Amino acid sequence: MTKEKTKLKEFIEAISILQWVLSFLFLGVACIILMVYLMFTSLWPLSALSFAWLVVDWQTPERGGRRKTFVRKWRVWEHYRDFFPIKLVKTAELNPNKNYVLGCHPHGIMSVGAFACFSTDSCGFTEAFPGVRPTLAILAGLFRIPLFREYLMCADISPVSKPSLIHHLSKRGKGNAVVIIVGGAAESLASSPGVNTVVVKQRKGFVRVALEFGADLVPVYSFGENELFQQVVFSEGGLSRKLQDLFKKIMSFAPCLFVGERFAFLPYRTPVTTVVGSPISVPKRATPTDEEVDHYHKLYMEGLSKLFHEHKVSCGLSEGHELQII
């Protein structure tokens, strides 16, 4: 029998989620505002030193960052996991003597499942895949923000840039798993309860990188990710959607209009199950041809579709649910 949660436990979980949501939405902006504000106070040397350090340390995020194990093991992430709850499901072994590129879908509003499973130790990735070290790769621009970049690097989060991927797949030995949320901002705009849409048909860069370094491709699907927030989805071609797309083009992330279950920001307590699929063997090609990229991209999409349909019922969807790949 499942032990019923106490009111105190539910409160701690809610606070754990709230701090993460507020960090996701506002911590980067708050760090920028703080640094600018300090420039006009007697504490301006602190701000000047922070910007100087940013310049000196510019390339560190693309060279592996500064992973701190204790950050990944913070107790707060266990409460974060239990709020939904979030579960990691293993379907196949990952050989620690190889490197991997994991494509995680869908993005959802905040990629809750990807963060819990790959940027914290709360879901047991290390125990499920011994010898394999996951690194979540996210928007590179976030690593240009003083203070905020340090927080990201401590959790072993890296920029999703070519130099960063090269470092992880060629300069850190074997057993590295770079996790890329392939659909990115475009996929977040399609996030809505009851919808299973992934943006991957024209996303081939991650496949080319996998071929260049002989890293196996692994599809990952987080069931329940799109159920956590209600989003206002604007129709294609409308003015509001055009403004969203313009913002996304300029800033590389999408301004989603969403609401949670409580206090606007708290997501719905819906289970999230992140299923790691079987690896797709990829050969090493110094200069992969377009035909090779297309071939392994097709295999990846087939593997993702198979993963979705094999696990959708056990993860709470009906047999009739389909995966839309755009």
> Which residue type is seen at 175?
G
DSSP-based helix, strand, coil % in the chain, nearest 5: 45, 15, 40
Spatial distance between the Cα atoms of 205 and 164, rounded to a whole number of angstroms: 14
pLDDT at 234: 67
SS3 of residue 152 by DSSP: helix
- Is 318 inside any structural domain? yes
The reported pTM is 0.92
In a domain, 2, yes or no: no
Which tokens in the block code for residue 233? 């989805």
- pLDDT reported for residue 250: 67
In the chain (326 residues long), the average pLDDT of successive 10-residue segments reads: 81 95 92 95 95 94 88 95 97 97 95 96 96 95 93 92 94 94 88 91 96 98 95 73 72 74 89 98 96 98 97 94 93
Nearest in space to 103 (alpha carbons), one of 200, 240, 231:
200
Identify the pLDDT of residue 287.
95
> Domain limits at 218?
7-325
Domain assignment of residue 312, yes or no: yes
pLDDT for residue 2: 55
Give me the number of domains the chain comprises. 1
> Does residue 1 belong to any structural domain of this protein?
no
DSSP state for residue 98 in the 8-state scheme: S
Residues 322, 41: Cα–Cα separation, whole Å: 57
Tokens coding 266? 């708290």
Whether residue 119 is contained in a domain is answered as yes
- Decide if 57 is inside a domain: yes
* Amino acid letter for position 147: L
Quick check: is 177 in a domain? Answer: yes
Give the whole-angstrom CA distance, residue 50 versus residue 166.
27
Backbone angles phi, psi at 250, to 5 degrees: -80, -45
Residue 65: inside a domain, yes or no?
Answer: yes
